[in-house]
């Protein structure tokens, strides 16, 4: 059978989604697919642009389908090529650059264009928005705005709708003074009533946004550069950039030029075909269906799936009946969800409200015939999921309306999963339903990672991950598979850590390259080198054959690489104690080598930042202090408090013990970094309970040892491993624990994850009760690592390779 030609105009969220849905319905040879995309890139998740602007997402993280995806699936992408018109008789699309592409079926998914109100001074001579004025629609817009924020102090956002407020919040996070200008009397007037609009304004004002309501902008000021805006009443606001966010208009240009029927959008029937051409379809924001155009993603997921069903013949009778839409404002620090109508239509509509102005809480429910017709939830994220779900499903409400506004107990995700209908959208960033996740699980994707890869759920903002996990557990019925590769110690060698350790010992593999040779069919894997070198060093100690290229740069030059390619230098200060002479040397070095900054770190020592690689050996020599290992996965510091020597509450000599600990374990290689602290009394000024290993002196000359504490990306109070009578015992059991951690933790597993995984009970059995009979060997092994200590900064004097600290060995004249 001859392949049908399917052409898509628009490579945005709707267009690309349709192509995916068509491919997913296979077989692959039904269509020859071509896509025109005006934007010169793959396909990305537009709704995450707000995250890119506010810095929570990196722009590279928001791609749904990068360029390779199109190649892989044999989809011809005309990236950066604008379709100009359609010759409907010849069934051909013509596009910029002279492309003529024939079609059997054509889908228009050209989205919307920002509406830009008539304002003087907006445009350059060539008709484009002038520099300093931005719309907020594309990744390009977003990049340009971010670039601009680095050069200006004040920004004006024209438009106080959903998008305008998200833009304002983003600019605020980037440190600008932000003014929002809005024509209506209150914010987001299409979704909110005046009371909630005012409350939202209060909340945002407290965050630092300035509002100018009921103002019509007439002029952008400034000759070469934008300097401000003027309103109709003559008042002005100074600013260096303007973001226009005054609404969107369906992009019907191509359709209109080609004689398709349009009104606000491109008019489509329930089968999504155009009114006057059955072979041309329109979906997404450019389509107008039953008098409605949409500005959100949920409807387009539905449309793409229905159209794919029709095109592929999977369900030739599939129809689209319209969508019920609800949305959330993605503004950090504000919880706002809205659905349906905002005011009652007539007296029959029942209105339930609850307001707590002081707390910024406003909840409103409009009920019609026992169902939700509209809802506004401001300042309370807890009630939103349940309520939006009832709205989406058009559920009958309970008699007690309050149950909807005040969830009795925080919804435990688990219990609710079963009753969730299949079409409930779980991942809002990628439009993935519960049904799709269940299907993927039934199709054999039984691990968390496999499900996410298969459906793309959870790969956007990530807030739905707990729900995905719950659905996985529910659907897999106790058969949740651990991803085999999730258990590999490193990605390039298919073995868990215990298997790998056994093989390494048995085959006596002492170098990273020999591991690739023997255990990975000779395939060297860059992403596995660092993990392997850490493991081999722990296994072989001084017998380890050290291949320097297997180390991360920090460990090749014993300093921490900075964003500009220079390095930071953190010398060791045992227990956080220093001397005037050391401080003087630090000051001299910092001056002589023009350090970018000298800083007291969070680890009770001093960081000298911004040192070029080639100066490291000189800096170390002149400091004449040992390495603090602040750059590597190893024992880092032991913080102390002033303890019995000075403090009136001191119960144990925490400073001396801290110094002893640091001298003993300094530089010791670990699966991840290990930080310690010793406090002289339970007031715990050294924060020992949130360290990987912490020690607290208690009444009666005793010491508590805590393990698995954390206060970084995760906060966890450590578990008490034991209470001992002397500093000697502290060091003994601490050492045993460290060696046990070194041998059993996964690479890059901090103690907080390790202790939780193994359980402190089990660890106590090994360390304290010696149930495994391993205590002696743990003690011996840790001692031999202690004996192997060598200050790596000595390599400054005796480099392992003549060019170890050289960045550009030769300069060749050109």
Partner 1 sequence: MMETKQTSAQTYDLGPVDQIPPGEGRQINVGHIPVAVFRTRSGEVYATQALCPHRAGPLADGITGGGEIHCPLHSYKFDLETGEPIGNECKALKTYPLEIDDSGNLRVTIAKSKARAGLDPASGGHK
Ligand X SMILES: Cc1cc2nc3c(=O)[nH]c(=O)nc-3n(C[C@H](O)[C@H](O)[C@H](O)COP(=O)(O)OP(=O)(O)OC[C@H]3O[C@@H](n4cnc5c(N)ncnc54)[C@H](O)[C@@H]3O)c2cc1C
Q: CA 471 from chain center: how many Å?
A: 22
Q: How far apart are the first and last CA of the chain?
A: 60
Stretch that binds ligand X, among 3-11, 234-242, 547-555, 639-647 (CB under 6 A): 3-11
Cα angle 643, 649, 652 (rounded to 5 degrees) comes to 45
The pattern of x and - marking residues 516 through 555 that bind partner 1 according to CB under 8 A reads: -------xxxxxxxx----------------xxxx-xx--
CB-nearer residue toward ligand X: 297 or 693: 297
The Cα 735–Cα 661 span in angstroms is 9
Q: In angstroms, what is the minimal distance from the CB of 77 to partner 1? A: 11
In terms of Cα–Cα distance, which of 729, 756, 728, 724 is closest to 741? 756
Among partner 1, ligand X, ligand SRM, none, residue 295 binds (CB under 5-8 Å by kind):
ligand X
Asked if 19 touches ligand X (CB under 6 A), the answer is no
The pattern of x and - marking residues 610 through 629 that bind ligand X according to CB under 6 A reads: --------------------
Q: What's the Cα-to-Cα distance from 721 to each of 363, 536, 652, 716, 744, rounded to whole Å?
A: 48, 28, 18, 15, 17
The Cα 239–Cα 743 span in angstroms is 59
The pattern of x and - marking residues 94 through 113 that bind ligand SRM according to CB under 6 A reads: --------------------
User: Angle between the 760-767 and 727-744 helix axes, to the nearest 10 degrees?
Assistant: 120
Show the beta-strand stretches assigned E in 469-582.
560-561, 567-569
Q: In angstroms, what is the minimal distance from the CB of 61 to ligand SRM? A: 17
Q: In angstroms, what is the minimal distance from the CB of 431 to partner 1? A: 21
Measured from each CB, the residue nearest to ligand X is 12
Asked if 605 touches ligand SRM (CB under 6 A), the answer is yes
Among ligand X, ligand SRM, partner 1, none, residue 529 binds (CB under 5-8 Å by kind):
partner 1
236-255 binders of ligand X (CB under 6 A): 251, 254
Binding residue for ligand SRM, selected from 272, 532, 570, 697, defined by CB under 6 A: 570
The pattern of x and - marking residues 23 through 42 that bind ligand X according to CB under 6 A reads: -------------xxxx---
The Cα 660–Cα 642 span in angstroms is 15
Among partner 1, ligand X, ligand SRM, none, residue 803 binds (CB under 5-8 Å by kind):
partner 1
Q: Which of 483-499 are b and which e, b meaning 16 or more Cβ less than 10 Å from the residue's Cβ?
A: eeeeebbbebbbbebee
The pattern of x and - marking residues 676 through 715 that bind ligand SRM according to CB under 6 A reads: ----------------------------------xxxxx-
The pattern of x and - marking residues 461 through 500 that bind partner 1 according to CB under 8 A reads: -------------------------------x--------
Binding residue for ligand X, selected from 83, 226, 308, 731, defined by CB under 6 A: 83
The pattern of x and - marking residues 549 through 568 that bind ligand SRM according to CB under 6 A reads: -----------x-x-----x
Asked if 45 touches partner 1 (CB under 8 A), the answer is no
Among partner 1, ligand X, ligand SRM, none, residue 710 binds (CB under 5-8 Å by kind):
ligand SRM
Among partner 1, ligand X, ligand SRM, none, residue 342 binds (CB under 5-8 Å by kind):
none
In terms of Cα–Cα distance, which of 202, 201, 177, 169 is closest to 188? 201
75-94 binders of partner 1 (CB under 8 A): 79
The pattern of x and - marking residues 53 through 82 that bind ligand X according to CB under 6 A reads: -----------------------------x
CB-nearer residue toward partner 1: 723 or 806: 806
Contacts of 582 (CB under 8 A, 6+ apart): 571, 573, 625
**Cα-atom radius of gyration of the chain, to the nearest Å?**
32
Burial of 359 (0-12, 13-18, 19+ CB in 10 A): exposed
> Dihedral of CA 651/654/660/666: which sign?
positive
User: Angle between the 139-149 and 162-173 helix axes, to the nearest 10 degrees?
Assistant: 40
Stretch that binds ligand X, among 45-53, 342-350, 568-576, 664-672 (CB under 6 A): 45-53
Which three-class secondary structure state does DSSP give residue 196? helix
> Dihedral of CA 429/431/435/437: which sign?
negative
Among partner 1, ligand X, ligand SRM, none, residue 11 binds (CB under 5-8 Å by kind):
ligand X
Q: In angstroms, what is the minimal distance from the CB of 86 to ligand X? A: 10
Burial of 542 (0-12, 13-18, 19+ CB in 10 A): exposed
Alpha helices, DSSP H only, in 157-248? 162-173, 194-207
Q: In angstroms, what is the minimal distance from the CB of 551 to partner 1? A: 8
- Residue 33 half-sphere exposure toward CB, CA atoms < 13 A: 29
Q: In angstroms, what is the minimal distance from the CB of 81 to ligand X? A: 7
Among partner 1, ligand SRM, ligand X, none, residue 568 binds (CB under 5-8 Å by kind):
ligand SRM
CB of 27 closer than 8 Å to CB of 313: no
The Cα 388–Cα 566 span in angstroms is 50
Asked if 511 touches ligand SRM (CB under 6 A), the answer is no
Q: In angstroms, what is the minimal distance from the CB of 545 to ligand SRM? A: 27
Cα angle 22, 28, 34 (rounded to 5 degrees) comes to 65
Asked if 607 touches ligand SRM (CB under 6 A), the answer is yes
Give every strand in the sheet of 241-244, ordered side by side: 133-135, 241-244, 154-158, 177-182, 210-213
CB of 379 closer than 8 Å to CB of 199: yes
CB-nearer residue toward ligand SRM: 465 or 510: 465
Q: In angstroms, what is the minimal distance from the CB of 58 to partner 1? A: 8
The Cα 570–Cα 735 span in angstroms is 24
Total residues binding partner 1 (CB under 8 A): 42
Cα angle 643, 644, 649 (rounded to 5 degrees) comes to 85
Q: Which residues bind ligand SRM (CB under 6 A)?
A: 560, 562, 568, 570, 599, 601-603, 605, 607, 630, 636-637, 675, 710-714, 750
Q: Which residues bind partner 1 (CB under 8 A)?
A: 40-42, 60, 63, 66-67, 79, 492, 513, 523-530, 547-550, 552-553, 556, 561, 563-565, 801-804, 806-814
Q: Which residues bind ligand X (CB under 6 A)?
A: 9-15, 36-39, 46-47, 49-50, 82-83, 109-112, 136-137, 163, 251, 254, 284-286, 295-298, 300, 327, 330
């Amino acid at each position: 059978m001859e392949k049908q030609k399917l052409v898509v105009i628009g490579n945005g969220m709707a267009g690309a989604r349709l192509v995916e849905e068509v491919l997913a319905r296979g077989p692959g040879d039904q269509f020859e697919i071509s896509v025109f995309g005006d934007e010169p890139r793959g396909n990305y998740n537009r709704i995450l642009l707000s995250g890119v602007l506010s810095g929570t997402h990196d722009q590279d993280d928001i791609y749904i389908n990068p360029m390779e995806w199109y190649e892989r699936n044999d989809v011809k992408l005309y990236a950066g090529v604008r379709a100009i018109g359609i010759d409907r008789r010849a069934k051909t699309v013509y596009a910029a650059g002279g492309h003529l592409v024939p079609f059997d079926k054509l889908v228009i998914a050209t989205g919307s264009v920002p509406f830009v109100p008539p304002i003087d001074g907006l445009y350059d001579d060539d008709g484009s928005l002038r520099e300093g004025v931005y719309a907020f629609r594309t990744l390009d817009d977003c990049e340009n705005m971010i670039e601009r924020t680095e050069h200006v102090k004040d920004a004006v956002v024209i438009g106080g709708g959903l998008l305008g407020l998200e833009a304002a919040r983003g600019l605020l996070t980037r440190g600008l003074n932000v003014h929002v200008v809005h024509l209506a009397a209150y914010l987001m007037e299409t979704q909110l009533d005046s009371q909630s609009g005012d409350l939202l304004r209060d909340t945002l004002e407290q965050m630092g946004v300035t509002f100018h309501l009921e103002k019509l902008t007439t002029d952008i000021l400034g000759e070469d550069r934008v300097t401000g805006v003027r309103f109709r009443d003559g008042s002005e606001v100074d600013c260096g950039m303007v973001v226009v966010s005054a609404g969107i208009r369906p992009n019907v240009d191509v359709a209109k030029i080609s004689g398709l029927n349009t009104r606000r959008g491109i008019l489509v029937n329930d089968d999504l075909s155009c009114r006057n051409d059955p072979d041309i379809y329109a979906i997404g924001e450019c389509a107008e269906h039953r008098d409605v155009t949409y500005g959100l993603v949920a409807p387009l997921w539905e449309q793409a799936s229905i159209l794919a069903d029709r095109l592929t013949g999977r369900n030739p009778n599939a129809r689209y009946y319209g969508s019920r839409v609800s949305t959330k404002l993605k503004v950090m620090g504000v919880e706002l969800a809205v659905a349906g109508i905002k005011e009652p239509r007539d007296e029959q509509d029942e209105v339930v409200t609850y307001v707590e102005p002081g707390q910024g809480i406003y909840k409103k429910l409009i009920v019609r015939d026992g169902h939700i017709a509209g809802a506004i939830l401001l300042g309370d994220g807890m009630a939103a999921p349940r309520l939006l779900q009832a709205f989406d499903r058009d559920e009958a409400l309970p008699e007690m309306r309050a149950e909807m506004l005040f969830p009795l107990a925080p919804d435990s995700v688990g219990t609710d999963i079963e009753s969730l209908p299949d079409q409930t959208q779980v991942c809002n960033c990628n439009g993935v339903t519960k049904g799709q996740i269940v299907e993927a699980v039934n199709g054999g994707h039984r691990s968390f990672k496999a499900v996410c890869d298969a459906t793309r759920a959870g790969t956007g903002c990530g807030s739905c991950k707990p729900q995905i996990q719950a659905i996985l557990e529910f659907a897999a019925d106790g058969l949740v598979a651990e991803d085999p590769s999730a258990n590999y110690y490193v990605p390039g060698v298919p073995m868990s850590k215990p298997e790998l350790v056994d093989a390494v010992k048995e085959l006596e593999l002492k170098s990273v390259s020999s591991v690739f040779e023997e255990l990975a069919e000779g395939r060297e894997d860059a992403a596995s080198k660092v993990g392997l070198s850490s493991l081999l060093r722990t296994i072989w100690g001084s017998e380890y054959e050290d291949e320097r290229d297997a180390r991360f740069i920090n460990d090749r030059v014993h300093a921490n690489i900075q964003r500009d390619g220079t390095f930071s230098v953190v010398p060791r200060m045992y227990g956080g104690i220093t001397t005037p002479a050391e401080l003087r040397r630090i000051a001299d070095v910092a001056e002589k080598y023009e350090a970018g900054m000298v800083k007291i770190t969070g680890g009770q020592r001093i960081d000298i930042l911004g040192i070029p690689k080639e100066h490291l050996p000189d800096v170390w020599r002149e400091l004449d202090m040992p390495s603090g290992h602040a750059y590597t996965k190893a024992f880092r510091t032991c913080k102390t408090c002033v303890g019995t020597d000075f403090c009136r509450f001191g119960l144990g000599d925490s400073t001396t013990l801290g110094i002893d600990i640091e001298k003993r374990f300094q530089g010791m290689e670990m699966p991840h970094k290990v930080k310690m602290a010793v406090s002289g009394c339970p007031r715990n000024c050294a924060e020992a309970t949130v360290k990987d290993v912490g020690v607290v002196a208690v009444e009666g000359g005793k010491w508590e040892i805590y393990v698995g504490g954390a206060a970084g990306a995760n906060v966890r109070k450590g578990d008490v491993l034991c209470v001992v009578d002397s500093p000697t015992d502290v060091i003994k059991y601490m050492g045993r624990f460290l060696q046990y951690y070194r041998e059993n933790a996964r690479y890059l597993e901090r103690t907080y994850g390790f202790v939780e995984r193994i359980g402190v009970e089990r660890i106590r059995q090994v360390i304290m009760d010696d149930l495994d009979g391993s205590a002696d060997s743990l003690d011996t092994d840790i001692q031999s690592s202690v004996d192997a200590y060598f200050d790596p900064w000595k390599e400054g004097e005796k480099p392992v390779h003549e060019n170890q600290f050289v960045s550009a060995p030769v300069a060749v004249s050109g």
